[in-house]
């Protein structure tokens, strides 16, 4: 009996294989119509695929969109970082260019002042509330800086040493409106002697220096150059540019004339300055020559006259 059932299973397996082979053969043959089992299976599979394919495509599209958004965000952040780096580098390059130009101007200025003992200094301090009054520089008494020495830029005179420390100094700018901040100056007159006066104060309305103590009869015109006179007791060197006359008016008493002088130096952008010694090397050489030349004795004749 068990052998019969075993043979029965084998027979069923063989029959199934034969039926499957027949179905495969029928399917592979070229036919104009498919059988109803094939049609049923195809339709069933198609419906199931359609039911699952649409949500799958929708989810796949959402996933692709999310991936694209993330990629775009990352790309945008990367581009922003590159733009920030570019802006920083551009600013740094521009700063280096300005510093290089300032150093070149300082070198040219130092060469043009070969007759004077000069010292290059860097501006290290400038307070916003005293922007037009004082600046701090990185040179002090240890470097030979003394009070009242002239301070200039490539444009011209900007101020004087107000006080010194061991390694730093404070510079009082000419644009400081303090009345005691007086500098002896001269106006160049074509085909005539220069006119002398004092830079004493700053006119806020004209945005210019006030050159005072000028005689009424003097013909001062706009466009005339103003420079240091080398007089006045501070020992400033002569012919250092101060500015240009942009206006003239008679004082309130009608006794003298005041001229408004536009600064030659850029007071809003001071990075490097030169500190000038009040005693020029040329003057020292002249004094040495005077010392080396003894005066000839003056002889008196018996009657008291000189020979």
Decide if pLDDT at 107 tops 90: no
Distance CA 188, CA 211 (A): 13
Confidence (pLDDT) at 211: 92
Decide if pLDDT at 290 tops 50: no
Superfamily of domain 117-279: Rod shape-determining protein MreC, domain 2 (2.40.10.350)
pTM of the model: 0.58
Q: Cβ distance 228 to 157 under 8 Å?
A: yes
Confidence (pLDDT) at 163: 93
Q: Which residues pair with 12 in a beta bridge?
A: none
> For the segment 120-129, what is each residue's pLDDT rounded down to a tens digit?
899 999 998 8
Confidence band for 17, pLDDT divided at 50, 70 and 90: confident
**Total Cβ atoms within 10 A of residue 67:** 10
Decide if pLDDT at 157 tops 80: yes
> For the segment 196-212, what is each residue's pLDDT rounded down to a tens digit?
999 988 888 888 999 98
Q: Flag the least confident range among 59-63, 145-149, 265-269.
A: 59-63
């Amino acid at each position: 009996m068990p052998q019969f059932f075993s043979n029965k299973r084998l027979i069923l397996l063989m029959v199934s294989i034969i039926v499957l082979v027949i179905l495969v053969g029928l399917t592979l043959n070229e036919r104009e119509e498919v059988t109803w089992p094939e049609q049923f299976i195809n339709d069933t599979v198609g419906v199931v695929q359609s039911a699952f394919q649409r949500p799958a495509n929708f989810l796949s599209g959402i996933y692709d969109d999310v991936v694209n958004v993330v990629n775009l965000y990352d790309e945008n952040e990367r581009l922003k970082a590159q733009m920030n780096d570019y802006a920083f580098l551009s600013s740094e390059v521009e700063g280096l260019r300005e510093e290089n130009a300032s150093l070149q101007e300082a070198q040219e200025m130092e060469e043009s002042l070969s007759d004077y003992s000069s010292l290059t200094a860097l501006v290290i301090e400038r307070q916003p509330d005293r922007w037009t009054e004082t600046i701090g520089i990185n040179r002090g008494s240890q470097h030979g800086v003394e009070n009242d020495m002239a301070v200039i830029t490539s444009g011209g005179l900007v101020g004087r040493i107000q006080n010194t420390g061991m390694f730093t100094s404070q510079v009082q700018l000419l644009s400081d409106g303090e009345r005691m901040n007086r500098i002896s100056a001269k106006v160049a007159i074509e085909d005539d002697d220069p006119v002398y006066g004092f830079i004493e104060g700053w006119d806020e309305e004209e945005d210019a220096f006030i050159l005072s103590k000028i005689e009424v009869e003097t013909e001062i015109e706009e466009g005339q150059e103003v420079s240091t006179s080398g007089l006045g007791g501070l020992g400033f060197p002569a012919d250092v540019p101060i500015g240009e006359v942009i206006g003239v008016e008679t004082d309130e008493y009608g006794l003298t004339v005041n001229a408004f002088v536009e600064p030659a130096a850029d007071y809003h952008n001071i990075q490097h300055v030169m500190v000038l010694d009040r005693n020029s090397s040329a003057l020292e050489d002249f004094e040495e020559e005077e010392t080396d030349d003894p005066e000839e004795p003056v002889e008196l004749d018996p009657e008291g006259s000189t020979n």
